[in-house]
């Protein structure tokens, strides 16, 4: 049973560029959440997708956007990258939007130079 | 607003000794509480959760956690630490209709 998979594992971008990160949820899960983990910090909630719609959003600017596809996979897009966007981006999936137990992917390490 | 506090940045224990990683929370209503572990350059792995019921929760790899409502605490414990337990540990709280809120993490270092 494949768990949550994320791609790519590492990424280097230049300030001002745009980036897309991808996530496939655990089999049987239909809800995907994205988290940003800056160095030395706990993960911070970005947003959650369920039924192809953004259901909840944390305190992140509109430069952060996402999408969920009919197969439940998801993308995180970040526009106009800033140095401060450098972080580990984690995708988590749950069995449905009401379930709390989340399974995390290994993350995408984004470095903005 | 919900919040989670992990008062120790680092906990050091010798192999074979008991370990405790502390967590306190602030939330209105009944919380769902979680512990996750993170190894270097990896995602988070679920250890255990408290939803309701027995205040002592048993989880993966011999870890357990004690829910104390009066002290709003959810400390992670293990009777005998292993060197392989060395990692970054996160406590998190969840309420229905919200997302997981994480503490800043505690680095556990187990020496041989």
Digit-coded pLDDT (tens) for B45-57: 999 999 888 899 9
Phi and psi at A33, nearest 5°, equal: -125, 150
CB contact under 8 A, A43 and B102: yes
pLDDT at residue A1, rounded to an integer = 62
Q: Check A103 against B103: CB less than 8 A apart.
A: no
Closest Cα in chain B, distance from residue A94 (Å): 11
Compare A42 and B30 and report the one with higher pLDDT: A42
Are A101 and B46 inside 8 Å of each other by CB?
A: yes
**Angle at alpha carbon of residue B16, lines to B12 and B19, rounded to 5°:** 45
Contact between B107 and B91 (Cβ < 8 Å) = no
Query: For residue B23, what pLDDT is reported?
Result: 98
For residue A62, give every residue at least 6 positions away whose Cβ sits within 8 Å of its Cβ, in sequence order, or none.
Answer: none
Nearest to A102 among B98, B100, B105 (CB): B100
| Mutation for testing the B interface, residue in A41, A42, A44, A66 having most B CBs under 10 Å | A42
Between A and B, how many CB-CB pairs are < 8 A? 59
Chain mean pLDDT for chain A:
94
- In sequence order, the 6+-apart residues with CB closer than 8 A to the CB of B91 are B4, B6, B21, B23, B25, B33, B34, B35, B74, B76, B102, B103
- Chain A interface, Cβ < 8 Å to B: 4, 6, 33, 35, 40-45, 48, 56, 58, 90, 92, 98, 100-107, 109
For residue B98, the model assigns a pLDDT of 74
Give the closest-approach CA distance of B13 to chain A in angstroms: 21
User: Between residues A83 and A2, which one has the greater pLDDT?
Assistant: A83
Which segments of chain B have a pLDDT < 50? none
């Amino acid at each position: 049973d494949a768990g949550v998979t994320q791609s790519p594992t590492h990424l280097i971008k230049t300030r001002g560029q745009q980036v897309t990160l991808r996530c496939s949820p655990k089999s049987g899960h239909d809800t995907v959440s994205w988290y940003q983990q800056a160095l030395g910090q706990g993960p911070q909630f970005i947003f959650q997708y369920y039924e192809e719609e953004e259901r909840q959003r944390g305190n992140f600017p509109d430069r952060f956007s996402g999408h969920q596809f009919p197969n439940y996979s998801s993308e995180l897009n970040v526009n106009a990258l800033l140095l401060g966007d450098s972080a580990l981006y984690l995708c988590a999936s749950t069995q449905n939007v009401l379930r709390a137990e989340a399974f995390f992917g290994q993350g995408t390490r984004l470095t903005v130079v | 607003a919900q919040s989670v506090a992990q008062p120790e940045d680092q906990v050091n224990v010798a192999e074979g000794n008991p370990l405790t990683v502390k967590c306190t929370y602030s939330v209105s209503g009944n919380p769902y509480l979680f512990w996750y572990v993170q190894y270097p350059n990896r995602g988070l792995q679920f250890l255990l959760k408290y939803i309701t019921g027995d205040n002592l929760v048993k989880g993966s790899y011999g870890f357990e956690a004690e829910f104390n409502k009066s002290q709003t605490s959810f400390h992670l414990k293990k009777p005998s630490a292993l060197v392989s337990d060395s990692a970054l540990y996160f406590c998190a709280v969840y309420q229905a209709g919200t997302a997981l809120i994480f503490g800043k993490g505690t680095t556990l270092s187990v020496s041989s």
